[in-house]
Amino acid sequence: MEILNIKISRFTDIISGVKLYENDDLLIIIQNPVDYVLDGVCFINKKYIQNMKLDEDHMMKKILEHKISKYNINNYYRNFKNIKDTIDYFKDNQSKLIELTLDSPTYSIIGKIQNVNIKSFKLNMLSVKAQYLNEEKFEYDKIRILTIDSDYLNSLEYFMSL
């Protein structure tokens, strides 16, 4: 198990997480936002990674190894080659909300994928009150991070199912 500290271009804060999979275009982690918390799977576009360091904190590693054993992690993440493949997959899984982080870490965009094209896709955007706003087009190569299964996203999905 590897715990990574990742510097993304234009982001002031370092993103930390447990590495699930990595290829030439994509890094997939379970995010570690604070202390010993694991929250959400992040698909990071590697072209925006400025620096990546291995975290050698022994206590952190032991605790996160224990926590990650509760996740059903296998070769599932090897199916994702890049951000477009990830979007294609989650378009077919319409019950999933995704969170996009573009060029600013101060805000993100949440919604459900509607249409997928060669260079872009449409997202039905969601408000913080779990109401759909409108559809917006996003280019794959502008996405720095795509997140699924965070506590926030799962809470919105739960509320929308009531």
* Structural domains for the chain: 3-70+78-161 (2.30.30.600)
pLDDT on residue 75? 73
pTM: 0.94
pLDDT digits (tens, 9 = 90+) for 80-101: 999 999 999 999 876 789 999 9
Q: What average pLDDT does the structure give for the chain?
A: 93
Question: Does residue 112 sit in helix, strand or coil?
Answer: strand
Q: How confident is the model at residue 77 (pLDDT cuts 50, 70, 90)?
A: confident
| Burial label, 13 (beta-carbon count in 10 A; 0-12, 13-18, 19+) | exposed
- State yes or no: pLDDT of 72 exceeds 70: no
Average pLDDT over residues 61-86: 86
- State yes or no: pLDDT of 116 exceeds 80: yes
Q: 């493949």: which residue's tokens?
A: 85
Q: How confident is the model at residue 26 (pLDDT cuts 50, 70, 90)?
A: very high
pLDDT on residue 13? 94
Cα 138 off chain centre by = 16
**69 vs 108, which has greater pLDDT?**
108
Contact 21, 77 (CB under 8 A): yes
- State yes or no: pLDDT of 69 exceeds 90: no
* Residue type at position 16: S
Q: Which two tokens stand for residue 73?
A: 């992690």
Average pLDDT over residues 144-155: 96
